[in-house]
Amino acid sequence: MATRVRKAEYYSMKVPNRPGAGAKMLETLKAEGVGLLAFTGFPVRGGVQIDFIPQNGTMLRRAAKRAGWKLSERKAVFLMQGDDRVGALTTVLGKLAAARISLTALDAAVAGGGRYGAMFWVKKKDVARTSRLLKAA
């Protein structure tokens, strides 16, 4: 399978860095029937930033409102998937570099079964150009 890139929406929020906080959030989303394409967290200034990449943004926003969470505004993220091989990310990242589009962050992992997945972020001003360049659906 060729590498596929698509644009998705994501939301973030800051939470206290406490054991079990992420698990509790995931339980809340499970109970609300919210599917996630990705869920990440990392430390920021005395807490943790949580990023949600939902299958359905409306469902996530509704569940967050019921739970009393303060989500960020909707933002864009790019999801990349393909066959795992040496240098799997280089074609896409090379296109971005040639277009002088900088990444603000990237996470990638082998998914098993000879596949990989990645998610990356660009500056807001570069989202539309990145979508066009990569033909991101």
Tokens of 122: 């660009």
Output the CA torsion 128→132→135→137 (10° steps).
30
Q: Which residues does 124 contact at the CB level (< 8 Å), separation at least 6? A: 75, 76
Q: Which range of residues forms the domain containing residue 81? A: 76-134
Q: Would residue 112 count as lying in a domain?
A: yes
Looking at the 3D structure of the chain, how many domains does it have? 2
Q: Would residue 1 count as lying in a domain?
A: no
In terms of pTM, does the model score above 0.95?
Answer: no
Q: Would residue 25 count as lying in a domain?
A: yes
Per-residue pLDDT of the chain (137 residues; tens, 9 = 90+): 688 999 999 999 999 999 998 899 999 999 999 999 999 999 998 899 999 999 999 999 999 999 999 999 999 999 999 999 999 999 999 999 999 999 999 999 998 899 999 999 999 999 999 999 999 97
Q: Would residue 54 count as lying in a domain?
A: yes
Give, for 132, the enclosing helix (H) or strand (E). helix 127-134
Q: Would residue 53 count as lying in a domain?
A: yes
Residues 57 and 114 in one domain: no
Q: Would residue 2 count as lying in a domain?
A: no
